[in-house]
Structures are given as structure tokens and as C-alpha cells.
Structure 1
């Protein structure tokens, strides 16, 4: 019996020890960075798992978005050398947030699946509107809405555009003149916050306009549930582009596409020099047939 007991103790010790192993997964990567394990030096790539003793060399202008196996996230924006133990020490593990790891895996696995299917969203490819006869808004024609902020963007260039937000009877509640092709609407505006259904249209010169986008606010009970989920999801993440990317994955998974788009835009704006965020934004637009590659 003693050999069996000794074997069981060793097995349980191994399992318990491995449960505490620190690992990082690379969710976002830009520029050149290397990992050194012993004498072996390897270039870092998105999706790579980092564990054990290692040293990272982050070169000038590079960026890393890391997800710890506890669900905590870590951004590395400064060049230099980073020891594994120093990085582990930055993670205060009070509890494991499996929701974060679920959505980081959701992001990486979707990208792997799309590449396997031959879909390749290159950052520098040209995109174009589906039509020049109407303004192409980057939001599906009808969607439910959770948040109080709404990113609006459109493909068609113009000296300026007029944004109109209307109620279900097409009475204008808010009108804005916008230069450029993007704006952020505050849906807590006094004229908007009590409306359950909002219609949004963009107008440009020569009577070119978008189709009306219908946005329906989710009911109080559903909103409360999403708030609880999001609070749990983001409890270990400070305000960052990584937070917006993970939130976007949550919204898209729950078919809250206007909110997902807003988070993709926020991620891109918070880290404008990191192509992965722009790529995630492009992927969303192509995936939902809101934009097409230029032929």
C-alpha cells in the first residue's frame, strides 16, 4: 500500500502545483519582441503562451497585450527587458476570472478559424462602400442597444455630413453637423434618453443619405444582467484598448452589434499605432457585410 500511497501523493502534488502555474497568452502584438528561455531566443507571435522562467525583450515602438491565466490582463507599452517573475508580480490574483479567458479565447479562436477558411484581413488593403448612391453606415439595419454611447461611422467621403436622430415617428430629436466620417453620440442626451426606439440617418450633399438604422434599447432586466456580466468581465481590467477589445467580443457574442462596433472603435482610438486593433475593427465590418475589399 505504501508505494501506491506515495504515488497518489506525488500525483496530487503535481496537479496542485500545476494549478498554480503562471501563464500568459499574447492577445495583441505589434512590432518586434522576443522571448528568451535559457539560451533560446524566439520571436513573439499573437496567441503564443508564455510560462515558466523567461525574459521578454520589447523593442522600441512595440506593444504587447497579455492575458494571465487568472483572467487579468497586462499591457506592455514601453521598450525594455521584462523578467517573467516581475510580470507575474504585476498580477494580483485574488480570484480567477474565467469569463475573461473565455472571451480572449473567443477572439483568438475566431481569428484562427477565419484564417483556416482562407479569410485574410490585411491591414493595408483598400476598402470601399457597397454603393455610392447612398451613405453606407457601419451599423446593421436594426440592432438592440445596451450602452449610452454610440459610435457612428460611414464609408462615403464628404465635406460634411448631417446626423439626424429621430423617434419611431421620424420626428427629429437631435441634429449634428459632422466634418469627417465619424462621430460619437451621447444617447443620454435629454432629448434621447427616454426613447425606447431611435432611428439614425446620415445625410450628405446631392441628396445622398443612408438608410435609417433602428436601435432598440434593451429592457431593464436584460440590461441589468448584461451589466452584471460586464462588471464581472472587466473587474480586473483597467480602462484600456484591451478592455474595449474584450468588451467588443462580449457584445458581438451577445448580438449587441452597435455596442460591439462602438467598443471596436474605442479600442482603435485608444491604441492608434497598434494594427491589431484596426484589424479587429476591419474584421467586424467585413464579417457583418458592412464594408467590402476594393477590387
Structure 2
């Protein structure tokens, strides 16, 4: 009987410890732009707000002019603060919808680990991917920041490349897409060093779902990228990943750059590098001024062999 009580006591202590550990903060800071400050509960002085900081219900954020602060709630839900003012954490928490958010929490924590890697020192070794970047050779090569072969789960893909030597203002690129029979099914001219491809477009409707993409300098096809192979994932492929994605979509919308970063983390962990790259691009397009997002993107490119 005494032994049973001891086991029950230990189990109870473990349970309580787990609950306390899971609830020792209200929010964590995922992104931080501006001269923002944090006033801890019971403190007379404010301190500099840092990415990765834990925020409790009694704390206050003093946001500077032009501030952007991305927060992750303990449930995994995210919210943003923009502009100057004093914000009570307890007030922010009232606007967070409650409920099951295991998937959201997992990938928000994935982002948190990348922003605060000193808490997870083996992160780099665990996620050191070996995907080959699409690199042409020679001084006139167009080097695309994308895998040479990639599955694509979403409907859009953003490809970005470095301008080769000799490109001048006004020069154009041609983006060509062929099917596996080397028939050109899509062609686009652009002056930019990026292109957004919509595989839901009727022009790219193709039963095989296999695409070969190449980028040239207009008027000189000797200046070109290597070929990039893209396989559009079908509904019957990667079923577990698609189910997890559906669960994530039920918990997290894609209406903010911070949430797009969370989606990028989902795709990265599931080996869908082109989808992840596209979500990073979309997040940065929405908030190009947020350096934390830029740094995350650069680290993602380096870790996956897409940039040096």
C-alpha cells in the first residue's frame, strides 16, 4: 500500500511538473523589428525586447514607432503587433482563440528553434539537408535558388535566380517549361530575377504532372540555367503529409507573413523544399522590412544547399 502511494505521488508530481512547464509563459517572441521594450510584471524598469523572449500575462510590451512584433501563444497560435504603443500581454491573450492546436504548436516551435538555436544546439546537424541546387556552369550561368529536382505540393512555385555576368539594364529573361517529351508548354518573358509559376493555370494543365523548367537570357540561349525538374504531387501521393497539411490549415490561416513562415517550416520538415521556398518568398513579399524573416530565409537557403 505504501509503495502504491509512493508511485501515485511520483506520478502526480510528474504530471504537475509537466503542466507547470507547459504553462510557464503566455507568448514567445518569434520576430522583432524596432526599438521595442519589455516591462516584466512587478518591475519598475523596462528592458530591451529580444527575439525568443518569454512573455507572461502580467508583462507589457512597449512598441516603438514602426514596430513589428510576431508572437507565438503557448497553444501555437500566432499574432502580430504593428506600430507604437503599450500593449498588455493579458489583453493580447484575450484575442487568441483557444482549442486544439497541436500541429500549429509543433511548427511554431520549429520556427522558434531556428530563431533561438542556442536552445537546440543539434538543430543544424539534424536538418542539414543535401538537396542539390540548380547551378549552371561558366561565368554566364544563371544560377537558380531551387533544387535540381523537387516535388511540389502547392499550386504555385516561386523561382529566384542570380543575374549572370554581362546582364544589363533592360535585358530580359525567358522562362520556358517543357513536358517530358521536350515540348514547350509555357513561356514567359520577365525583366525580374524571379518568377511565380501557377501550376493550377490551364496553360500548365498536364496529366503527367512532370515539368522541366529552364531560364535563358532573351536573345542568347547560351546564357542559361540548368534544367529544373518539378513533379506536381497528386492527391494519391504523400497522403500522410497532405492530411497533416489539412490539419494545419484548420488551425492556422495564411493571412500573415508570420503564419507563412510556419507553413514554410511545415514544408521544410516534410522535404518539400520548393513549397517551403515559395512560402518564405511570400512572407518576405508581405513584410520585406522584417530582418528576422530575411535571416530565416537565408539560413534556409544555406542549410538546403540553395545558396552559399
Cα separation, 2, equivalents of 1:216 and 1:17: 44
Match of 1:229 in 2: 244
Which residue matches 1:184? 196
Contact 2:153–2:275 at 8 Å: present in 1 too?
A: yes
The structural deviation recorded for 1:110 is 3.5
What SS class does the counterpart of residue 92 from structure 1 fall into? coil
Shift of 1:145: 1.0
Distance 1:12 1:32 in 2: 40
Q: TM-score normalised to the size of structure 1? A: 0.84
**Is 1:250 matched with 2:266?**
yes
Higher deviation after alignment, 265-274 or 25-34 = 25-34
Match of 2:104 in 1: 100
**Is contact 2:150–2:229 with CA below 8 Å preserved after alignment?**
yes
Work out whether 1:24 is the aligned partner of 2:27: yes
CA contact (8 A) 1:132 1:156 kept: no
Sort the Cα spacing of 1:64 and 1:248 in 2 relative to 1 into closer, same or farther, 3 A: same
Alpha-carbon distance in structure 2 between the residues aligned to 1:27 and 1:251: 18
Query: What secondary structure, in the 3-state scheme, does the structure 1 residue paired with 2:306 have?
Result: coil
Instruction: Give the aligned length.
Output: 277
Alignment correspondent of 1:48: 53
Displacement, 1:29?
A: 1.3
> Residues 31-74 of structure 1: CA distance to partner in whole angstroms, max 9, x if unpaired?
22111122142211111111130111010122111010111100
- Equivalent in the alignment of 2:158: 151
d(CA) in 1 for partners of 2:106, 2:182: 41
Q: 1:203 to 1:114 in 2, by over 3 A?
A: farther
Structure 1 residue 140 corresponds to structure 2 residue 147 = yes
Unaligned runs of 5+ in 2: 125-135
CA distance in 2, matches of 1:61, 1:227: 38
Question: Structure 1 130/61 Cα, relative in aligned 2: closer, same or farther at 3 Å?
Answer: farther
Q: Is the 8 A contact 1:162 1:203 kept in 2?
A: yes
Contact 2:104 2:252 (8 Å CA) reproduced: no
- 3-state SS of paired residue (2:162): coil
SS in 2 for 1:139: strand
Structure 1 residue 17, shift from structure 2 partner: 7.8
In the other structure, the counterpart of 1:67 is 72
Task: Report if aligned partners of 1:139, 1:290 keep a CA contact under 8 Å in 2.
Answer: yes
Specify every segment of 5 or more residues in structure 1 that has no aligned partner in the other structure, as ranges: 120-128
Measured in 2, the distance between the counterparts of 1:273 and 1:12 equals 44
Written as runs of structure 1 = structure 2, the 5 A alignment for 1:105-124 is 105-111=109-115, 112=117
State the match for 1:80 in structure 2: 85
Structure 1 residues 131 and 53, CA, compared in 2 at 3 Å: closer, same or farther? farther
Pair 1:42–1:260, CA change in 2 (3 A): same
- C-alpha displacement of 1:288: 2.1
- Equivalent of 2:279 in 260, 263, 282: 263
Does the aligned pair in 1 maintain the 2:65–2:83 contact within 8 Å?
yes
Taking the aligned partners of 2:106 and 2:302, their CA distance within structure 1 comes to 23
Task: Please name the residue that 2:214 is paired with.
Answer: 201
Name the SS of the counterpart of 1:290 in structure 2.
coil
Q: CA RMSD in A?
A: 3.0
Residue 39 of structure 2 corresponds to residue 36 of structure 1: yes
